[in-house]
Amino acid sequence: MRRLGLSAVLALLLAVFGLAPGASAANPVPAELTFATDSASTTPGGTVNLSMTITNNKTYDVWFVYQTIEPTWLTTQRPDLKYGFTGCSLATATGSTPCSGTGPADLGTNYGATIPPGQSRTVTLTLQVAADSGCNGNIGFYSYFYAEFSDSTNASGGPVYTPETRVLCA
């Protein structure tokens, strides 16, 4: 009985001082934005596909998504790096469909909202590195997003950083 009492006191102390394990896994963020690239490096004249996936972790539909994507500060400090987004596609159950808004703002319309609970949508941007681009530099982006749900709530997040793409000389 004495061991049980000591265990209970220890558990109480851990809970009071915030050392007990949290229940954060039970309450995921309402919407989550993740990035992936199909290659960690490319050469001048090459392309890299940058995939962005928004996941609806709520029990209500996502009705609206707004997203920005901007180069990181270190990327802007390399004027010899030349690149641009040349394509955009939304993955669907029947294949990919073209999207628009490949500039630095309002990528959200490309996700094809409404996004039902527990589902995600993936938009892939094609990053084209110019043939006369400088080498040995990293290209990276950051993003902010805002999502509205059918229960009249909203969520925002960011900055979310993309994996960096290294431009190598061949």
pLDDT tens-place string over residues 30-72: 889 999 999 999 999 999 999 999 999 999 999 988 888 889 9
Nearest alpha-carbon partner for 61 in 155, 146, 148: 148
The CATH number for 127's domain is 2.60.40.1530
Within-domain flag for 108: yes
Residue type, 128: Q
pLDDT tens-place string over residues 94-121: 888 887 655 545 576 777 768 999 999 8
Count of the separate structural domains present in the chain: 1
| E-assigned strand segments in 5-140 | 31-37, 41-42, 47-56, 62-71, 83-92, 95-98, 120-129, 137-139
Q: What is the pLDDT of residue 116?
A: 93
* Residue span of the structural domain in which 102 resides: 29-167
Within-domain flag for 22: no
> Cis (ω within 30 of 0) for the bond into 159?
yes
Within-domain flag for 23: no
Q: What is the pLDDT of residue 57?
A: 93
Within-domain flag for 37: yes
Please tell me the pTM assigned to this model: 0.76
The strand pairing partners of 56, in sequence order, are 31
CA distance 25 to 105: 31
Q: Say which residues have a Cβ less than 8 Å from residue 83's Cβ, sequence separation at least 6.
A: 127, 128, 129, 130, 133, 139
Q: Contact, 165 vs 37, CB < 8 A?
A: yes
Within-domain flag for 115: yes
